[in-house]
Amino acid sequence: MAKVTKKLVAIYVRKSRLKDADGMEISRQLELLTDYAEVNGMDYEVFSEEGSSEDRNRPEYQRMLMELRRNIYDGVLCTEQDRIARDSTDFGLFIRFMKAEGLMLFTLNKTYNFMNDDDVFTLGIQSEMDNHFMRMTKRKLRRGRIQAIKKGVFFGIAPYGYTKDETKHLIPHPEESQVVEEIYNMYVKEGLNQAELVEQLNLRGKRTRAGKPFTVRATSLILSNVAYRGTVHYELTGEDVITVEEAHPALIDADTYNQAQLIRVDKRVVPQQSQRGVYSLSRLLVCPKCNQTLSFCMKYNKRAGRNVLDKSQRELYVLNCHASKGQKAKAEHKASGEARCSNNGIKSARIEQYILIKLKEHLTDIDNEIEAILSGSKDIISKAVLKQKQLTLHYNNLEVQKKNVQAGFKIGIYEAEEAQAEIKAIKEQQLAVQKELNNVEGADAKSEIDRQKKTREKIERILSLDMEANPTKANKLLHEVVDKVYYWKELSDVGGEKPFDIRIVYKGELHSGDNQ
């Protein structure tokens, strides 16, 4: 009697990441398939993984295909053909592979011989049905996720400071939540920057969830996450933005969170063309004609120094409007055929000196302002109301601009990246306007006097500072006092230094005009 040779099959088990209700756990698949193999006299090797049927690059699936090329297997054994692939194209490639290798597909219900046209036809129909079922399942899961989000469910890993309850809602973590409160308190109330904040956290022995020291990136993620004010926010592709307020207990109140966002916008360094590092007047000088923020560069002030590349003979210059533009903006300007703005460059030291003189004069203005408030000759309330109306109108105009950009994207006027950049810029303007509104709201004589005194202290610190030795610190202090400096110079300095005009706009002013 001839000896019966056992078939050798590759058992393939896969659990879908979709976690659909009809999906069978890997352990259960293995139990059924190994029983089937033993009953039918098969030897086997197991290939097991979790992954989507839409992904042909599943590691174990690819390893199985390589093993099948060794010509020692009789076929593949799986619970259903959809374990291999639900996509009809991917399954068609699998059929071609199996047919070329002379292999069979064994399932719990049927054996398929790829040399038999009827079996291939049946598999093709089944593949289309599986593909349809997968699309239905994904749509059902997406609808379920959207409904869950609207009920405040948080998907994904709970952010630092939170854990999840059995309903997948966020709840405060006893220890981590206290660290989050410390971070916001140091950043908003104590005025620490993120580097100082990280240093303090690590000195106090605070650690991330992974047990590692805090980094600026870790604190930045915490300071920017809206979940800490009790909000669930999701932006799903092809769906309207979902925002659920009071979805879970807040660790940070809304005012503190909003202040943190305003501080982050103020401290965000905007890269300037043609400069490395920060100068004392970085991001402050603006052309009143074309509204271009002016940039800086180092130039040789004498030809002899340039000839020998003696860097000690270089001096910091403010670039003209056109030179301050980025490459893309320059190209667009050139294509438009418009004349360049006639605002000329200048030695930065001349502007610094002039601004320091104006700041010193402004100290007298502040003293006069305080005296007028104390004497009752200055009506703070009516000016605050006027300023509030102006700012509210400006904020609403920005909101209209944002909606216009969104509408423009839908009809194809903007590309996705352009629309995102425009909306981001508008949102930052709105945050700045909101900050001014916060300063104006509830204005009274006492709060205005306190604000003026704080401004005086900051100006005195600027005047006592060596700006050349501490440009970054000087720039930070100037941004706390000055909103922008309008600079205009009609003539170039060829043949001698020419006059220029400066107009300083101070932060938080309640009057409608700007300081000269």
| Distance set, CA 286 to CA 94, 190, 309, 422 (Å) | 64, 31, 31, 20
In 3-state terms the chain splits into helix, strand, coil percentages (rounded to 5) of 50, 15, 35
- The single residue listed with the structure tokens 């110079």 is 489
Q: Across residues 29-37, what is the average pLDDT?
A: 91
Sign of the CA dihedral with 348 first, then 349, 353, and 356 last: positive
How many Cα atoms within 13 Å fall on the side-chain side of residue 150?
9
| CB within 8 Å of 497: residues ≥ 6 apart | 350
Structure tokens at 91: 């399954």
What's the CATH class of domain 162-267? alpha beta
Flag whether pLDDT at 159 surpasses 80.
yes
pLDDT at 1: 42
Residue 286 in contact with residue 292, Cβ under 8 Å? yes
d(CA 63, CA 47): 8
Residue 286 in contact with residue 485, Cβ under 8 Å? yes
Q: Higher pLDDT residue, 447 or 90?
A: 90
Residue 41 in contact with residue 4, Cβ under 8 Å? yes
Provide the residue ranges of all domains of the chain, joining segments of one domain with +: 7-147, 162-267, 285-506
Most confident residue range from 20-29, 138-147, 474-483 = 474-483
Q: What are phi and psi of 355, to 5 degrees?
A: -65, -40
Query: CB atoms < 10 A from the CB of 498, how many?
Result: 13
Flag whether pLDDT at 305 surpasses 80.
no
| CB within 8 Å of 478: residues ≥ 6 apart | 280, 281, 284, 355, 462
Residue 287 in contact with residue 319, Cβ under 8 Å? no
Of the candidate ranges 3-7, 147-151, 324-328, 343-347, the one whose mean pLDDT is the lowest: 3-7
Question: In terms of Cα–Cα distance, which of 244, 245, 199, 193 is closest to 220?
Answer: 193
pLDDT at 288: 93
Question: In terms of Cα–Cα distance, which of 452, 456, 509, 515 is closest to 486?
Answer: 515
Residue 232 in contact with residue 244, Cβ under 8 Å? yes
Q: Across residues 204-220, what is the average pLDDT?
A: 90
d(CA 14, CA 61): 9
Length of the chain: 516
Q: How confident is the model at residue 441 (pLDDT cuts 50, 70, 90)?
A: low
Flag whether pLDDT at 115 surpasses 70.
yes
Residue 382 in contact with residue 443, Cβ under 8 Å? no
Of the candidate ranges 354-358, 413-417, 509-513, the one whose mean pLDDT is the lowest: 509-513
What's the predicted TM-score (pTM) here? 0.40
Residue 372 identity (one-letter amino acid): A
Question: In terms of Cα–Cα distance, which of 262, 197, 182, 272 is closest to 224?
Answer: 262
Question: In terms of Cα–Cα distance, which of 188, 250, 191 is closest to 225?
Answer: 250
d(CA 422, CA 425): 5
**What 3-state DSSP class applies to 107?**
coil
d(CA 112, CA 144): 36
**What 3-state DSSP class applies to 135?**
helix
- 317: region left, alpha or beta (phi > 0 left; psi from -120 to 50 alpha): beta
Residue 318 identity (one-letter amino acid): V
Q: Does domain 7-147 have CATH number 2.40.50.100?
A: no
**What 3-state DSSP class applies to 257?**
helix
Q: Higher pLDDT residue, 281 or 232?
A: 281
Angle ∠(388,389,390) on CA atoms, nearest 5: 90
Flag whether pLDDT at 287 surpasses 90.
yes
How many Cα atoms within 13 Å fall on the side-chain side of residue 249?
12
Q: Rg of the chain over CA atoms, in angstroms? A: 34
Q: What are phi and psi of 416, to 5 degrees?
A: -55, -45
HEC profile for 43-94? EEEEEEEECCCCCCCCHHHHHHHHHHCCCCCCEEECCCHHHCCCCHHHHHHH
Q: Higher pLDDT residue, 423 or 106?
A: 106
For residue 127, the surrounding DSSP H or E stretch is helix 117-150
What residues does 299 pair with on adjacent strands? 315
